[in-house]
Amino acid sequence: MSAVIDVRDLRTHIVTRWGTIKAVDGVSFALGEGETLGLVGESGSGKSMTCLSVVRLVPRPAARVVGGEVLLDGEDLMRKSDAEMQQIRGRKVAMILQDPMSSLNPVFSVGMQLREPLTMYHGLRGSAAAARAVELLAAVRIPSPAARLRAFPHQLSGGMRQRVVGAMAIAGPPRLLIADEPTTSLDLTIQAQYLGLLKELQQRHRFAMIFVTHNLGIVARTCDRVAVMYAGRIVETGPVRRLFTEPAHPYTRALLESIPRFGVRRARLTAIAGQPPDLATLGTGCAFAPRCPAAFDRCVEAPPETDVAPGHAARCWLHGA
């Protein structure tokens, strides 16, 4: 099966007063139809920046994608012109953002914001666009969809708004859906519903999905593969089951250990020692080394990605050549 999205050695740098930050430092992954990749990591690890880099919407002029290829159905997005990229965004690659309270434009109605992509992608207008908009709202299970078209965002709850955003995202329908922590701001009870909805949409439209989160529980439930990011690099990637049962990288292990478990009594919760690294002052070695319980002298050199098992790779000298 050929990959829907194939990212190879993506690099994005941000120039700041304090130096150049390698926000995305050689990220590679591939996804096929209907597959979901969980992108996991702490704040500042580069998850969001990776997603933005894929669609080439990085904050200019400070940030710039400096290298790599992003193949969408075989075509390299990095070689496209601005105009071509604009056609691709939304239609072929859609994105859902984290905060539903601020994702929708407060001064335009839901209907207008939903009709816009329909006009842009499919040339629908008037009643045809409205009808399709109602279908989309129904697909994301919003009650009374026809009436909702006239509503304004402030009249909807957070969960409903996120569904509207979801409806806009599948207007294409896209080949790739990037969901950047879509449930983090939702109530716990609604989270499960929303995840279920995303999965259902994915099965129907067969798009690949990148699911960015810091919540390993969600990863376990919704993702097929996982990529763990640290300091702009993917330090471990593999099938979700393997990562949970046999994590290869010390960071992944530490993340898993820090989740409190039912039934296991402990006096203190395990935390990962130290602070996330200052991306402007990274050295040349393994970025996790300062906090790694298993660090040794080889770690002053940055480890390459090495296969631990078929489809499961990690950047760590513990497994390296």
Partner 1 sequence: MSSAGHPRSDPASRLPLQSSALPDRAARPEPGQRSRHWPVVSISIIVVFVLVALLAPLLSPADPYEQSLRLRFRPPVWDERGSWANPLGTDRLGRDMLSRILWGSRVSLAAGVVTVLIASAFGAAIGLVAGYYGGRVDATLMRVTDATLAFPVILLALILAVTVGPSFTNVVIAIAVILWARYARVIRGQVLTLMQLDFIAQARIAGAGAWRVITRHLLPNTLNTLVVLVTLQIGYVIIVEASLSFLGAGIPPPTPAWGSMIAEGRDVITIAWWVSFFPGLVILLVVLAFNLLGDWLRDTLDPRLRQL
Partner 2 sequence: MLRFVFFRLLQSLIALAILSVVVFVLARATGDPLHMILPMNASEEDYANARRYLGLDRPYVTQYLSFVGRAVTGDFGNSIRARRPVSELLRERLPNSLKLAAFAMSVSLAIAFPLGVMAAVKKGTRIDRAAQLVAVLGQSLPTFWVAIVLVEFVAGRLQWLPAGGAEGFASYVLPGFTLGWFVVAGMMRLLRSGMLEVLDSEYVKLARLKGVAERKVVWVHALKNALIPVVTFAGIYFAILVTTAIVVETVFAWPGLGRLAYDGITSRDFPVIQAVVLSTAVIVAAVNLCVDCLYAVIDPRIRYSR
**Interacting residues toward partner 2 by CB under 8 A:** 55, 57, 86-91, 94-95, 97, 99, 102-109, 116-117, 120-121, 152, 154-155, 165, 168
- Smallest gap from Cβ 117 to partner 2, in A, equals 5
The entry of partner 2, partner 1, none that residue 270 binds, CB within 5 to 8 Å by partner kind = none
Rounded-to-integer distance, Cα 101 and Cα 154, Å = 8
The entry of partner 1, partner 2, none that residue 108 binds, CB within 5 to 8 Å by partner kind = partner 2
Contacts of 101 (CB under 8 A, 6+ apart): 158, 161, 185
Residue type present at position 93: V
Instruction: Specify the residue, 57 or 220, whose C-beta has the smaller distance to partner 2.
Output: 57
Instruction: Specify the residue, 30 or 57, whose C-beta has the smaller distance to partner 1.
Output: 57
The entry of partner 1, partner 2, none that residue 94 binds, CB within 5 to 8 Å by partner kind = partner 2
Using a 10 angstrom Cβ sphere, with 0-12 exposed, 13-18 middle and 19 or more buried, the burial of residue 234 is buried
Instruction: Specify the residue, 40 or 139, whose C-beta has the smaller distance to partner 1.
Output: 40
- Smallest gap from Cβ 28 to partner 1, in A, equals 18
Task: Determine the 3-state secondary structure of 184 from DSSP.
Answer: coil
Instruction: Specify the residue, 45 or 103, whose C-beta has the smaller distance to partner 2.
Output: 103
Rounded-to-integer distance, Cα 173 and Cα 249, Å = 36
Using a 10 angstrom Cβ sphere, with 0-12 exposed, 13-18 middle and 19 or more buried, the burial of residue 160 is buried
Instruction: Specify the residue, 102 or 270, whose C-beta has the smaller distance to partner 2.
Output: 102
- Smallest gap from Cβ 281 to partner 1, in A, equals 14
Name the residues that contact partner 1, by CB under 8 A. 13-17, 20-21, 23, 43-44, 47-49, 52, 56-65, 78-79, 81-82, 85-86, 98-99, 102, 185, 276, 279
Residue of 243, 248, 239, 246 lying closest to 288 (CA atoms): 248
The entry of partner 2, partner 1, none that residue 56 binds, CB within 5 to 8 Å by partner kind = partner 1
Enter the tokens of residue 48.
């969001």
The entry of partner 2, partner 1, none that residue 292 binds, CB within 5 to 8 Å by partner kind = none
CA distances, 193 to each of 5, 45, 104, 210, 267 (Å): 27, 28, 20, 18, 34
- Smallest gap from Cβ 296 to partner 1, in A, equals 29
Rounded-to-integer distance, Cα 25 and Cα 286, Å = 12
Instruction: Specify the residue, 94 or 137, whose C-beta has the smaller distance to partner 2.
Output: 94
The entry of partner 1, partner 2, none that residue 63 binds, CB within 5 to 8 Å by partner kind = partner 1
- Smallest gap from Cβ 189 to partner 2, in A, equals 24
Rounded-to-integer distance, Cα 207 and Cα 278, Å = 35
The entry of partner 1, partner 2, none that residue 205 binds, CB within 5 to 8 Å by partner kind = none
CA distances, 131 to each of 126, 147, 185, 216, 255 (Å): 9, 12, 30, 39, 46
- Smallest gap from Cβ 32 to partner 2, in A, equals 23
State the first-to-last Cα distance of the chain, in angstroms, to the nearest integer.
30
